[in-house]
Amino acid sequence: MKLENKVAIVTGGAMGNGLGIVKVFLKEGAKVAILDYDEKLKETLENLNSEKVIGYNVDIRDVNKVNEIIKNINSKWGNIDILVNNAGVCRLKPFMEMTDELRDFHFDINIKGTWNVTKATLPYMEKGSIINLSSVTGPMVADSGEVAYATTKAALIGFTKGLAAELANKNIRVNAIMPGYIMTPMVENMAKETNEENPKSVIDGIANVIPMKRLGTIEELGNLAAFLASEESSYITAQDIVIDGASTLPETMTMGV
């Protein structure tokens, strides 16, 4: 087990990509602390039914609470080896209709929340791995209505590289995962926003234009995170790794051979 005896923190681990990461980390032997704002956290902990996982309901915008929880995790399990900044939000809205409040909602959670948890955790990391969940949306592609989300996910690439440069000589590696379409509640909600009467048609349409003809699974993303968290990737830092079934590969969706 590649993460045996490691202590990991996963934000937004109650569902979606975060849950996939938690499941794989547990399978690979890690102890995992989930930080999540959603009330679904209780149900997730019950379903996981493991002595190696604990959960904290917290809004990562709350710096004082985040600091308190990270200190508590360190006291319970000792040195923290892995941090996965997965928590994030996405609300589709055309740019000119985007309120300042909704803009700041994205910025405060996706950027500042990641900043808060990372800064609170670093004093307890002697060496290890930090993994930031960015996206292909922002750094590589974007659709209408995604300006706020795309901006925050692009910012996380800069955060990853800047932090990696500072921490390289401390044996702490920092990398980013850039998912394409993974079957998560966020994608399902976006599909409902696009076509409330038939969201499945939206999902099927997405899958049809992905070269691998399907969306990814949360476990597949979890496997990538486990690799980046383990010693198998000990010489990899400051990298942005795409996992998207080649959805960003085609030059155009209209030309065929």
* Segment 170-214, tens digit of pLDDT: 999 999 999 999 999 888 887 888 888 898 999 999 999 999 999
Query: Which of the 8 DSSP states describes residue 166?
Result: H
Cβ partners under 8 Å of residue 30, min gap 6 = 3, 4, 6, 7, 8, 52, 82, 229
Q: Widest CA span of the chain, in angstroms? A: 60
Of 124, 149, 181, 235, the active-site residue reads 149
Q: What are the residue ranges of helices labelled H in 95-198?
A: 100-106, 114-121, 147-167, 185-194
Beta bridge partners of 36: 57
Q: 3-class DSSP state for residue 55?
A: strand
Assess contact for 84 and 11: CB atoms under 8 A: yes
- What pLDDT sits at residue 190? 78
Domains plus CATH for the chain? 7-180+217-243 (3.40.50.720), 182-215 (no CATH)
Assess contact for 237 and 128: CB atoms under 8 A: no
> pLDDT-based confidence at 7, cuts 50/70/90?
very high
> The whole model's pTM is what?
0.95
pLDDT tens digits along 58-81: 999 999 999 999 999 999 999 999
> pLDDT-based confidence at 253, cuts 50/70/90?
low
Whether the per-residue pLDDT at 257 is higher than 60: the answer is no
Residue 156 in tokens? 């996380």
- What pLDDT sits at residue 252? 67
CA distance 27 to 32: 11
CA distance 248 to 75: 43
> pLDDT-based confidence at 221, cuts 50/70/90?
very high
Assess contact for 183 and 218: CB atoms under 8 A: yes
Residue 89 in tokens? 């939000």
- What pLDDT sits at residue 160? 99
Assess contact for 178 and 131: CB atoms under 8 A: no
56 is catalytic: no
52-61 core/surface letters (b: 16 or more CB in 10 A; e: else):
ebebbebebe
